[in-house]
Structure formats: C-alpha cells, structure tokens
Chains A and B, each alone.
Chain A
C-alpha cells in the first residue's frame, strides 16, 4: 500500500466513524476525591440515574480534585482528544470560571449542575452555557425576602471568599430589616467559639449563616453546645442530606432555603427519591437532584435534536422540556433557572435527620444579573 492509499483509507475510516456517532458525547468533570467529594459524587450519581439505559448518551467522567488547574487540563483533554459535545459536572464556582468560558468559546455546550457565579449570569453569559442549578445568590435572596418583617435583627456570618460575599450580598439585597452584625470568617475555619461568643453578646434575634460542608458541621455542633438559643437559618448548603447525619440532633429546627426537598410534592419526585435510594443505598441531596435534572435535560434535548446541529440542540435545551424533580422549571433570558424556592426545616424522622418543606420562600425566582446579559 502506498502512502496515498493509506491516507485515503484512513480518511474513509475516519468519515465512517464520524457518521456512526449520532449520540451525544458528554464530558463530566466533577470532584470525586479530597474535601467536598460528597457533592461531586451526588451530582454524578444523580446524573447517572437520569441517563441510565439511554443509548444516545455516552459519558466520560473525570475527577478534578477540586483544583482549578486540574479541571482546566481535563477540559482541554475532553475537548481536544475525547471530542465531547457537551460538558457538565463542575461543583465549585472558581473551577467553573476557569473552565466554562473556554469551553463555550470553542462551541461546546456546558450544563452547570451546581455553581452559578454571577459573572456567568450577567456580562459573561453565553448562549451555550445553561445553568440547571441556581445563580449563587438565589437561596439567600429568597431567605432575605422570607425573613423580612418577622425576624428582627439578624447576625450574618460567611467565609471570607467570593461565594461567601455573594451570598451575603444576596441576602442584604432583599432583606428588609436591621443587620445586627456581619462577620466574615476564614475559609476552612473549624472553630467558631469566637464567633459564637460574639453572637451571644450581640443584640441580634436571628443568625443567618452560610458555611458549606465541614465548616457548617463544626459550627452547628459548637453552636448547639454553647447554650445560645437564637434561631439559625441559612442556604441549604449547610443543611443538606450529605452532612445532616454528621451534625445530628444539633441541626434540628434550623430553617434553610432550597429549590428542592425530598418531600416536595411534584410529579416524579417521590419516584426519584425511591430510585436513588434503591440504587445507591442513601437519601438523595439537593446536589443529587440537580445532577438528576441535568441528566433529564440533556436526554430531553438529545431526543429532540442532533447535537451536530448546534442551533437546534440549543433551542431544544432552552425549552427545558423535562419533568424536573423541582416541579416548575424554565430558563430565563440568560439561560439561568426560573424556579420556586422553598423554606425547609430540619426535622427528625425516627433516627434520621432530614428536611421537610414548611413554606414557599420565593415564587418564580430569577436572578438579578439577567439585565446585564446580552443574549
């Protein structure tokens, strides 16, 4: 065989391979090891449950170890050598900022199952970027509205990093009332004795805090032992199923805002909770629900349009034609969710510490950054 023949044969083979691939190839980059792996594992498992048995979807999963540089390497690899059509999976805002703009600029679709930095909702929005979770401020804006009036003075606490400041800004944007104090702690701080002493000494009637993951566990346990009895609330990240078991009774009674809860009475939710428990032997968290919805959204678009026809695929995504486990779900002008946000309360069911819905905090909530988005 001459070189030319070889070249021709290779081209034909490549064309053939291209013609066969009519499904959607998805690259998932998420956090599966290190601190915070619980969130990535829940997103992955929820997504896998949604696309189980779906032959249209081919999935590549990689672990970013919560490190932006590794996420960028993995994204390059997925785009250049794996040739994925759609990317998803990132948990943390700083990693999303490192990966998403580059991926969408190269014509890939990105579906965010978690993390909604304001930069990607406003000026930096992109027609190929769809957020299936929330904009970072959403839960605390809803909480600000819900606590206005009845709460009295509020003591605010969050870690000193961009998401912490965003969430407190969201609360202050909608809260009508007096802020007793505002405290920013170190990211990753494990001892809150000093802050709890300040809470005891302040004249606040309520505590509103955002401390994701292990920070929230530490704070709640220490708060319960301190004898301070001011009611606490926060966005759902500090009270989610993955960490409630570790906090135990200390969390009971705390209010938190979320777009989903396992007792939410909408079609499909009870089945999702049951299927997730049967498959993985644990209760789903909001992250699992977000992963599940992301999988459903992708499957709905893949069933309607060919991913090679980007315009049709984009239109199919934008329709959001799937039964979300959150009930109502649609995309706003900047491809971020318009959804209801509920007030939940931590309760004890037998030995199990979990959440139940006690009311609606915000109806058809959308983010305030859409005005800056030119789509």
Chain B
C-alpha cells in the first residue's frame, strides 16, 4: 500500500467520523440532558434526507435543500418532543425505548406513504461533483472535503454554544441538576424542546449531506443509529467532546480496518481466505474497540460516573 492511498483512506475515515459526529452529538445531548434514550433519532436523519431530496427536486438548489433538511428535522423533532417524548421523562428506559421504537415504525411507514417505496434522487451540486487534486497528488472528491469542513464548523459551533452562551449554561446546568434550574426560574420544558429540536436538526443535516452520496430511502437511518450509539458509548454518554473523539475513532477504525486487515492477513494466509476473514474481522472491529474502551474506562472516554 502506498502512502498516498493510506492518506486517502485516513481522509475517508475522518469524513465518515464527522458524519457520525453530527448524529451522535444530538443523541448524546438528548441523553445527557434529558436522560432519554431516543431510538427515533435515525428517523430524524431520514426526514432530513427526504426533505432535502424533495426540495432539491422542486427547486434544483442544494443550499435550499440543506436549509429544508434543517427546518424539517427541527420541526419534526419539536413536534415529537411536545407530542410524545415529554410524557416519557419520568418513565424508565424500557418505556422510552418502546415508545421511540414505535416512532421509528410510524415515521418509516409515514414516509413510505408520502414518498413511495422507491429510493429518491438527490445528487451533489454540479460545482462539487468531481474530484479535486490535493497537495501530493491525491485525488479526492470535492464534496467529501465539504462534508469534513461543514462537520468541523458545526463541532466548533457546538463547543462555543455550550461553553460560551447562556443557553449553554442552562444546558450544562440541566445536565447536573434539573430540579434546581427549574427552581431558579428556567423554563425547563422549553429548554428540553429546544435541545431536542437542535439534536434533530443536526441529524437532519447529516441525513441531507450523506443522502447526496448515498441512497435516500426508507429505513436509511437505522444502521447509522447503531453506529451513533457505539460512538456515544465510547465517548462517554452526555459529552460532546466524547462524541467528537468517539466518532472520529469509530470512523477511522471502520475505514482503516476494512482496508488494512485483509492486507495484513494476506501475509499469513492465501488471498481469498484473507479477504473473507479480513472483512469479517473488519465488521467486528468497532465493537471490539467499544469493548476495549469499556474494559478500561467503563464510563467511556470522557464520561462521568
């Protein structure tokens, strides 16, 4: 394997990690602040992608499509929080899992009812369609670079929001003691709706960004949801920093594992066996990573007990 190929694969790992971060950030915020396990987070990702595909189809503008994904997912998130989730905070996790699982089924079938069973068309804007040449002669798709850039901007924005703003103070206070901040006069239910909508909007944006290079179809959110849960377990539940580090770790492990393991094994066994054993091991690699992190740090990398 050449150095160029390795660098390209590292970029791929970073890009998939950044996408996971957008999903995991919302999930970890919602769990950290409200103590709620939201299985329907993947459906919000799907709503973002469908909204973007519909708007891009109608107007042809990718920027409008991204805006639509943010608005649609945030609105869906707010409606879900007010209509369903609000009744679940006092219940135990099993009730939350059941109710949000029901939401997955309702949202999936609702989307199918509205858009049909066939995948929708959403493509990258023409200006970003091709590859660009990076220093060193690496050809890399321009759109994937944009994804990395957008993800990093959002990560910085989230840190500033949480560390520097009044809302951020309320969020952090809500995480540690929700009765106390309610007693101090903060409208806790409005705060919860806001956080839920923010998490939903991030998931929707991820769905729209990824939808342009993957397929926009019913059920697209669930595989990503599982990875996002792995990310927040590794990073430590409730920690945005943990979500970022965890997402990058998972993205890099997943991508590089798939490339390097078959290559490494081909030294000790014949080619076809190395390919199949290597790809089997690569599929397990992120779960092995999660198990290792949990053995040495049971609360995750940045979690607090």
A residues near B (Cβ < 8 Å) are: 33-35, 37-38, 41, 160, 182-186, 188, 190-191, 193-195, 197-198, 200-201, 213-215, 217-218, 221-222, 224-227, 242-243, 245-250
Cβ-closest 7 pairs across A and B: A227-B131, A217-B215, A246-B119, A193-B12, A214-B215, A218-B214, A37-B117
- Cross-chain contact B2 with A201 (CB below 8 angstroms): yes
Task: Indicate whether A245 sits within 8 Å of B121 (C-beta atoms), given known contacts A193-B144, A225-B131, A227-B130.
Answer: yes
Q: When each residue 69-93 of chain B gets 1 if its CB lies under 8 Å from chain A and 0 otherwise, what string results?
A: 0000000000000000000000000
Determine the residue in chain A with the shortest Cβ distance to B223.
A188
Which among B9, B118, B141, B271 is the interface contact of A243 at CB below 8 angstroms?
B118
Digitize B258-300: 1 where CB-to-A-CB distance is under 8 Å, 0 elsewhere. Answer: 1100100000000110011001101100000000000000000
Number of residue pairs spanning A and B whose beta carbons lie under 8 angstroms apart: 133
Docked Cα-Cα span, A342 to B147, in Å, equals: 40
Q: Are A191 and B214 in contact (CB under 8 A)?
A: yes
- Across the interface, which residues of B come within 8 angstroms of A194, CB to CB? 9, 12, 255-256, 258-259
Q: Is the CB of A182 within 8 A of B272?
A: yes
Which residues of B, 111-142, contact A by the 8 Å Cβ criterion? Answer: 112, 117-121, 123-124, 129-131, 139, 141-142
- Distance in angstroms between the alpha carbons of A194 and B282 in the assembled complex: 12
Specify which chain B residues have a CB less than 8 angstroms from the CB of A190 in the assembled complex. 210, 214-215, 220, 223-224
Q: Are A221 and B117 in contact (CB under 8 A)?
A: no
A293 to chain B minimum Cβ distance, whole angstroms, is 22
Cβ of B109 under 8 Å from chain A: yes
Q: Do B258 and A246 touch across chains, with their CB atoms under 8 A apart? A: no
Chain B min CB distance to A269 (Å): 22
| 8 sample A-B contacts, Cβ–Cβ < 8 Å, listed by A number | A38-B119, A41-B117, A214-B215, A214-B217, A218-B215, A221-B123, A221-B212, A242-B118
Chain B contacts of A41 at CB under 8 A?
Answer: 117
B213 at the interface (CB under 8 A from A): yes
The residues in B between 45 and 91 inclusive whose CB is less than 8 angstroms from any CB of A are none
Interface centre among A35, A185, A242 (most CB of B within 10 A): A35
Given contacts A37-B112, A182-B275, A245-B121, contact A227 B217 (CB under 8 A): no
Interface of A is mostly: helix
Instruction: Tell me the bound Cα distance from A95 to B33 in angstroms.
Output: 43
Q: In this complex, what residue of A is CB-closest to B142?
A: A225
Give the distance in Å from the alpha carbon of A217 to the alpha carbon of B214 in the complex.
Answer: 6
Q: Which of A33, A200, A243 contacts B112 (CB 8 A)?
A: A33
Q: A183-B262, A191-B214, A222-B213 are in contact. List 5 more A-B contacts (CB 8 A).
A: A190-B223, A193-B255, A200-B139, A225-B129, A250-B123
Known: A184-B276, A193-B16, A194-B12. A221 touches B213 (CB 8 A): yes
| Smallest beta-carbon distance A98→chain B, Å | 21
A215 to B280, CA, bound (A): 18
Q: How far is the CB of B219 from chain A (nearest CB, A)?
A: 4
Bound together, the chains give a CA A251 to CA B224 distance in angstroms of 25
In the complex, the answer to whether A221 meets B214 with C-beta atoms within 8 Å is: yes
Least Cβ–Cβ distance between A151 and chain B, in angstroms: 20
CA A83 – CA B95 in complex, angstroms? 40
How far is it, in angstroms, between the C-alpha of A285 and the C-alpha of B223 when the chains are bound?
Answer: 27
User: Hey, which chain A residues are within 8 Å of B262, CB to CB?
Assistant: 183
B255 CB, nearest partner CB in chain A, Å: 5
- Shortest distance from the beta carbon of A225 to any chain B beta carbon, whole Å: 4
Q: Which of B129, B258, B283 has the most CB of A within 10 A?
A: B258
Closest Cβ neighbor of A282 among chain B residues: B118
- Complex interface: chain A residues within 8 A of B108 (CB): 34
The answer on a CB contact under 8 Å between A225 and B130 is yes
Q: How far, in Å, is B229 (CB) from chain A's closest CB?
A: 16
Closest partner residue, chain B, to A245 (CB atom): B121
Determine how close the nearest CB of chain A comes to the CB of B78; give it in whole angstroms.
27
State the CA gap A22–B117 with chains docked (Å): 36
Contact, CB under 8 Å: A226 / B141 = yes
Complex: chain B residue closest to A215, CB-CB:
B215
CB of B279 within 8 A of CB of A185, answer yes
**What residues on A are CB-neighbors of B220 within 8 Å?**
190, 214
Q: Roughly how many angstroms separate A371 CA and B16 CA in the complex, as a whole number?
A: 47
Q: Is B202's CB within 8 Å of the partner chain A?
A: no
- Write out the residue numbers on chain A whose beta carbons fall within 8 Å of the beta carbon of B121: 245-248
B5 contacts chain A at the CB level, 8 A cutoff: yes
> Contact partner of B117 among A38, A183, A184, A215, CB < 8 A?
A38
Chain B residues whose C-beta falls within 8 Å of the C-beta of A185 in the assembled complex: 258, 279
Return chain B residues, CB-CB under 8 Å to A217: 119, 214-215, 217
Min CB gap B56→A, angstroms:
11
- Contact residue among B12, B109, B217 (Cβ-Cβ distance under 8 Å from A197): B12
